[in-house]
Structure 1
Amino acid sequence: MDDVKIPDVDEGGVPDQVRRAPQENQDVSSFSEFAEELLSQYGWYLLVLTVLVYLLIQYLSKRRSSQSTAPKIMQDASSVARRQEAMEAARRKMQEELDVKAAAFKEKMKQQEEEKGRQKIEVWDTMQQGKSYKGGSKLSQTAEETSSSTTVLKPKTDKKPLRSADYHPLSGQGGGSCSWRPGRRGPSSGG
């Protein structure tokens, strides 16, 4: 019995060889290792997938809420119809005003055409009588001006030509004090 060894016993009564590190839950450690490996290989893909799912949920919730507001829009259909009727009435009123203005403009144009026709007839009559066209129109215009206004017309002064008939600008003659002379030849004296 010499060969039998008795191991040393600690205070707790458990041999040193039997004592081990505190035991962890085997299920949690294997899951954390799997998650670490998955994130290291596919982390960016998972992040993009998560964002897309979030945006899809937001879109669907907005769409669902807009469908729930559809009955509210149906209730407002009567107010929309009233607004459209009011707009149509305003358009009709504006069109009627425009029609009245167009009729007045046509009437004015018709009167102007009649007046032009009368003037042409008067000119023709004056020409048949042997009077000149300009003379007749000036007489009628001066009669109208004197009857309609009290302004005094100034007589026109006879304008004289500014230059004499024998004026030649390049010859230096007949121009009075102004005449063209060629510049000096030679080198310039500037510095």
Structure 2
Amino acid sequence: MDDVVIEDVHDEGSPYRPEKVPLANQDVTSLALTVGELLSQYGWYLLAVTVVTYLLVQHLSKRRSAQRGRSSDPQTPQDAVLVAKRQEAMEAARRKMQEELDAKAAVFREKQKQQEEEKRRQKIEEWESMQQGKSYKGAAKFSQSTEEASSSSVLKPKTDKKPLRSADYNPLTGQGGGSCSFRSGRRGPSSGG
């Protein structure tokens, strides 16, 4: 058998090269390659410039807003007079409210004193009624009815009363003159039916 060698014929004796197929969007691919090359060579520098630019913009915006804030402060004498008048009006309103509060507090304290005086007077009346032999709970009724009773009648002193039962009465034994005693029930057929 013969040795057969197959050779592809290409350009002038150069080794085999695949053919390049033309791409549809040549502009986009070239742009992507260019951006990729820039980022690979200058990426860190671009990042640093971006951060510095951002910080500079933030600083300038803060400074501008601070200048606006200062410009809104009253700088004219007319504005200063207006502010002073407002403060005086606020102080006057505060003083008026404080005076009203003080007056209400004084009225409240006066009512408290009157209530304490009334309680003290009632306690004295209760004490006097206890000294006269009246009961504690009857003291309130007594204090209300003393004005009515003083004009129509005179109080009578207590007298000794007789005991209702004899001294030898014992309710457990049933003896000693008590009217209640045990009686057994009637014996016989039941009346139920």
TM-score between both structures, scaled by the size of structure 1: 0.46
* Structure with max Cα Rg: 2
Larger relative contact order (CA 8 Å, sep ≥ 6) = 2
TM-score between both structures, scaled by the size of structure 2: 0.46
